[in-house]
Structure 1
C-alpha cells in the first residue's frame, strides 16, 4: 500500500518537474534587450520627470519626435469643425480637443 502510494507520488512529482522544466525552457529562450521592438511606452502613463530614466539606444525615446507633436493640430480641429458643422466656436473646440 505504501509502495503503491509512493510510486504515484514519485510519478506525480516527476511529471510536475518535467512540465516545469518544459515551460521554463520554452519561455526563457531569448534575451530580450533593447534591440527588440516593443510597444511599451511609459511616457503615456508616467510623469514627465521620469523621462531621463527611459534609456534606450533607439532614437524614439527622450524627445526624438517631440518637435512634431503639434503638426496635425490644425487638420484635426478643421475636421472636427466640419463634422460638427460649426456648432462650437473654433477656439473652444481647439481647447477641448488639444489640451490635456
Structure 2
C-alpha cells in the first residue's frame, strides 16, 4: 500500500448522504397513500352495502305489489261471484269505535 491510499482511507470518513426529499414529506406521502387505500376500501364496502340495501328495497316493493294485485283480484272475484248468484258485494270498510269510560 502506498501512503496516499492509506491516508485517503483513514483521513476521509464516508459522509452519510441525506435523502434528497425531506423526511416529513416522505411521511406525509405515506400517510396520504394509506388514507387513499382506506377510502377506496370503504367506498367498495359502501357500494356493496348499498347494492344489498337496494335489492332488499326492490324485493319489498315487489311483495307489496303482489299483495295489492292479490287484493284487487279477490275483490273482482267476489263481486263477480255475488253478481252471478243474483246478490251484490259490499267491500269491507274500516270500522272505528270510540270507548269512553266515565268514572262515577
Per the normalisation by structure 1, the TM-score is 0.40
Larger Rg: 2
Higher relative contact order (CA 8 A, sep 6+): 1
Please state which structure has a larger fraction of its residues in helix.
2
